[in-house]
Amino acid sequence: MSKQRKIIGYDGPGSGHVVAGDKIMPLDAPQALVALTDSALLTGLGYSEKAATYQKLIEHRRQPVAAIQSR
């Protein structure tokens, strides 16, 4: 006998999803895999100087192209 039960009236996602910022993406989307990788790396680095540096790189990468100033 299956222990999983269907919730009546719920037709939500049937597969894994990633929430990054204000976006909900299917797990197989490239942006979702990047978000998961970033999260894993930041978790592994803990509260360190390397984590702070990596967080700045993530924020810079997520900026729209037009907003990035040329050097």
Distance from the Cα of residue 10 to its chain's centroid = 24
- Per-residue pLDDT of 21-56, as tens digits, reads 788 889 889 988 988 998 898 899 899 999 999 889
**What is the number of residues in the chain?**
71
Please check whether residue 35 is in contact with residue 20, taking contact to mean a CB–CB distance below 8 angstroms: yes
pTM assigned to the model: 0.60
Determine the pLDDT at residue 69: 62
Mean pLDDT to the nearest integer, 7-23: 79
Other beta carbons within 10 Å of 68: 10
